[in-house]
Amino acid sequence: MFRAGRPSHTVLRSLLLLLLQAVGRGLGRASPAGSPLEDVVIERYHIPRACPREVQMGDFVRYHYNGTFEDGKKFDSSYDRHTLVAIVVGVGRLITGMDRGLMGMCVNERRRLIVPPHLGYGSIGVAGLIPPDATLYFDVVLLDVWNKADTVQVSTLLRPPHCPRMVQDSDFVRYHYNGTLLDGTAFDTSYSRGGTYDTYVGSGWLIKGMDQGLLGMCPGERRKIVIPPFLAYGEKGYGTVIPPQASLVFQVLLIDVHNPKDAVQLETLELPPGCVRRAVAGDFMRYHYNGSLMDGTLFDSSYSRNRTYNTYVGQGYVIPGMDQGLQGSCMGERRRITIPPHLAYGENGTGDKIPGSAVLIFDVHIIDFHNPADPVEIKTLSRPPETCNETAKLGDFVRYHYNCSLLDGTKLFSSHDYGAPQEATLGAHKVIEGLDTGLQGMCVGERRQLVVPPHLAHGESGARGVPGSAVLLFEVELMSREDGLPTGYLFVWHEDPPANLFEDMDLNKDGEVPPEEFSTFIKAQVSEGKGRLLPGQDPEKTIGDMFQNQDRNQDGNITAEELKLKSDEDQERVHEEL
């Protein structure tokens, strides 16, 4: 088949000269049917469905063949040599019949060529191999075709609708690929190794054709990249899997791309109106997030655990990129934070879900944040039209309605659900400190909004229905207020007590005051406005506690010696201490 076949180069040059002379004289022989063949007979017995290019004059081709005579006797085969033919077509390096028979052929096409003698080895033949005037039969399969003028061919198979950035020179990329020869023979795949191929682009780490083919790709994009051999492994090939002068086809899926100079990228997805405060370093934040790789693969989500992620911002408790990305956010804001690997988990990755050199994308919803130094934030929503001369103070007994929610609007509690106002004595540690503070200074009928940080609410542990470290939002309305009593007092007189207190209390004048007489007397003082009991307590229990305090020998009766006012007791205690 070759003019440079098995004989020496000198013999072949002589054969070539004789063959050209024979062709010039128009030599021909009979076809199998008995008539002379003027040209190559081409039988295309397998034509592939897709034929992106056909062989043209000057193309470089790689093919296998079997060569036989008319009787079927084989005279040559590339299969027997386990070596493809790799040669340029149409420049005189092949017998004329083969040159013509290969024209227009597609990769993976199979042809049977009948080459008359004058287009083969003519009247001379090849000594010991091909007799003179032999008609030659070739079964050919084309495996590769390229041209020195070829460039890298890029076909986009799938392009995602959102492309945050495209590959540029000096970027670091992670991608999956299937590598095949032009005839579809697979030689390598990243999928079999269970990991992406990670490398820099345009830095000489890749074959030139792949460097070119990756440029402009988006994360999640799929491409078919066809690379001619002079932009791949050229005349040497690579090992046993890529033969010399082989065109390469890569099916590539780009997973992610970044540049070592990249900073954190922020995209605001939703910004609530009225953002009066933004997170700064040192704030403690609660947020939800979905974490994914650049190709959309989800690796973690706080939603799956049904609780927020809680951390300090800017203090090194989270990866540096997240520390940066959370600062400047508003409560209720949704933002997308794209973090390059050098600000995430670096070259090593972490666990089995975040590979090395992975770009991370977090879709974050800021639930709330606070600073450990934050006070209660108080905003007056409305005040009663009439003048307010007295406001709630420590020790006062107050009744108020409230609605309590998280800052994201999640409703927690409401006094309206119980059909009655909440009752509390301010400063008695019966309500959370922040609410106690927020109720002070209110007028009856006033409405306030209170933002209570967790260190003034339920702290890191939370409470029933309240998450740990949650900032609470209260809307409160003060319904009533009563002056409280001094600490330790259960009853106070509005004026001086009776001069003969025991005689007035001893209703039957028997020298003893039982519980019934004591209760009747105290209730009469309250009814007549002469004194008042500790507000917010069951009057019967309060009077019972007062009786127990005065019945010092616990015999069920109070005597004149036992009865003492608390103010007198306090004075005696001072003298004793002095």
Catalytic residues: 65, 75-76, 95, 121, 138
Which DSSP string corresponds to 514-533? -HHHHHHHHHHHHHTTSEEE
Task: Give all strands (DSSP E) within 383-463, no chain letters.
Answer: 397-406, 411-414, 422-425, 447-452
C-alpha dihedral over 131, 136, 141, 146, to 10 degrees? 80
Block residue for tokens 């000198």: 10
**CA gyration radius for the chain?**
48
Q: How far apart are CA 190 and CA 141, in angstroms?
A: 29
Q: How far apart are CA 389 and CA 499, in angstroms?
A: 34
State the CB neighbour count (10 A cutoff) for residue 133: 19
C-alpha closest to that of 488 among 570, 391, 396, 394 = 570
Burial code of 343-369, b = ≥16 C-beta within 10 A, e = fewer?
Answer: bbbeeebeeeebbebbbbbbbbbbbbb
One-letter identity of residue 180 = T
Contact assessment for residue 259 and residue 335, using Cβ atoms and an 8 Å cutoff: no
Give the SS3 label for residue 50.
Answer: coil
State the CB neighbour count (10 A cutoff) for residue 247: 25
Task: Give all strands (DSSP E) within 340-396, no chain letters.
Answer: 360-370, 377-382
**Alpha-carbon separation of residue 425 from 65, 268, 428 (angstroms):** 102, 45, 6
- Would you give the DSSP letter of residue 207? -
C-alpha dihedral over 280, 283, 284, 285, to 10 degrees? -20
Burial code of 414-437, b = ≥16 C-beta within 10 A, e = fewer?
Answer: ebeeeeebbbbbbbeeebbebbbb
Q: Is 432 left (phi over 0), alpha (psi -120 to 50) or beta?
A: beta
State the CB neighbour count (10 A cutoff) for residue 205: 12
**Residue 297 burial (C-beta neighbours within 10 Å; 0-12, 13-18, 19+):** middle
Please give the backbone phi and psi of residue 558, each rounded to the nearest 5 degrees, phi first: -110, 130
Q: How far apart are CA 426 and CA 393, in angstroms?
A: 7
455 CB contacts (<8 Å, ≥6 apart)?
Answer: 370, 372, 374
Give the SS3 label for residue 243.
Answer: coil
Which DSSP string corresponds to 275-293? ---B--TT-EEEEEEEEEE
- Would you give the DSSP letter of residue 98? H
